[in-house]
Amino acid sequence: MSRFRKVQMTQTQDDDKNRIDCETRLGLVLKNAKLGFWDFGRESTVLNWSGRAKEFFGLTPETVITYDLFMRGVHPDDRERTHRAIQRTFETDQRTYDIEFRTIGINDGVERIVCASGTVVTDEADRPLRLIGVSTDVTEERRHQHELRLAKNNAELASVAKSQFLANMSHEIRTPLGAILGYAELAINNHTTEEERYRFLTSIQRNGELLHKLIDQILDLSKVEANKVDLENVKFSLPRALDEVVSALRIKAAEKSLQLLLRSEGKVPELVETDPLRFKQILMNIIGNAVKFTSKGSVTVTVRLAEAPVPGERLTIVISVCDTGIEISQEKRRHIFERFSQADNSITRKYGGTGLGLALSKELALALGGDLILKETSPRAGSTFEFFFPDSVYDESLRLIHLGENAGADADRRTQVATARLDGLRVLAVDDSEDNQFILLSKLQSAGAQVETAQDGQEAVQKALKDEFDLVLMDIQMPVLDGVSAMRKLREAGFRKPIIALSAHAMKKDKKKSLEQGFDDHLSKPIQLRDLVREVAHHSGLESRTQH
Angle (nearest 5°) at CA 476 between 470 and 479:
110
Any domain includes 402 = yes
Nearest-angstrom CA–CA distance, 422 and 448? 5
Cα dist. 279→237, 509, 523 in Å? 12, 19, 21
Same domain, 218 and 244: no
Same domain, 500 and 514: yes
Same domain, 384 and 435: no
Any domain includes 146 = no
Specify which residues 100 forms β-bridges with: 115
Any domain includes 57 = yes
pLDDT of residue 254: 87
Any domain includes 399 = yes
User: Residue 181's domain is classified under what CATH number?
Assistant: 1.10.287.130
pLDDT of residue 457: 95
Same domain, 190 and 62: no
Residues 283 and 408 sit within 8 Å (Cβ to Cβ): no
Question: Domain of 128?
Answer: 33-137
Same domain, 329 and 289: yes
The number of folded domains in the chain is 5
Cα dist. 89→68, 117, 296 in Å? 18, 11, 77
Any domain includes 8 = yes
pLDDT of residue 381: 77
- Among 194, 225, 256, residue at a domain's last position: 225
Question: What is the sign of the dihedral through the CA atoms of 479, 485, 487 and 493?
Answer: negative
- Among 137, 170, 199, residue at a domain's last position: 137
Q: Is 447 helix (H, G, I), strand (E, B) or coil?
A: coil
How far does Cα 276 stand from its chain's mean position?
Answer: 20
Question: Tens place of pLDDT for every residue, the chain, 548 residues?
Answer: 555 455 455 555 555 555 545 555 545 445 555 788 888 887 777 888 888 889 999 999 899 989 999 999 999 999 999 999 988 888 888 888 899 999 999 999 999 999 999 999 888 888 888 889 999 999 999 999 999 999 998 888 777 766 766 766 776 777 788 888 888 888 888 788 888 888 888 888 888 887 887 788 777 777 776 676 778 899 999 999 999 889 888 888 888 899 999 999 999 999 999 999 899 989 998 998 899 889 889 999 999 999 999 999 999 999 999 999 888 877 777 778 876 554 444 454 444 555 577 888 998 999 999 999 999 888 777 899 999 999 988 888 889 998 865 554 444 444 443 456 899 899 999 999 888 888 899 889 988 999 999 999 999 999 999 989 999 999 999 989 999 999 999 999 999 999 999 987 767 778 889 999 999 999 988 887 888 888 999 898 875 443 43
pLDDT of residue 44: 76
Same domain, 276 and 336: yes
Q: At what angle do helices 238-255 and 276-292 cross, to 10 degrees?
A: 20
Any domain includes 67 = yes
pLDDT of residue 409: 47
User: Residue 64's domain is classified under what CATH number?
Assistant: 3.30.450.20
Same domain, 323 and 285: yes
Nearest-angstrom CA–CA distance, 548 and 537? 18
Angle (nearest 5°) at CA 281 between 258 and 534:
90
Q: Give me the long-range contacts of 92-96 (CB less than 8 A, separation at least 24).
A: 95/119, 95/120, 95/122, 95/128, 96/120
User: Residue 402's domain is classified under what CATH number?
Assistant: 3.30.565.10
Q: What is the DSSP letter of 77?
A: G
Any domain includes 419 = no
Residue 231 phi, psi (nearest 5): -120, 135
Same domain, 362 and 350: yes
Cα dist. 13→10, 21, 63, 296 in Å? 5, 12, 33, 105
Same domain, 520 and 482: yes
Rounded (to 5) percent helix, strand, coil in the chain: 45, 25, 30
Any domain includes 338 = yes
Nearest to residue 526, comparing CAs of 205, 245, 263?
205
- Among 379, 414, 449, residue at a domain's last position: 414
Same domain, 299 and 407: yes
Q: What is the DSSP letter of 479?
A: S
Same domain, 71 and 103: yes
Same domain, 438 and 389: no
pLDDT of residue 458: 95
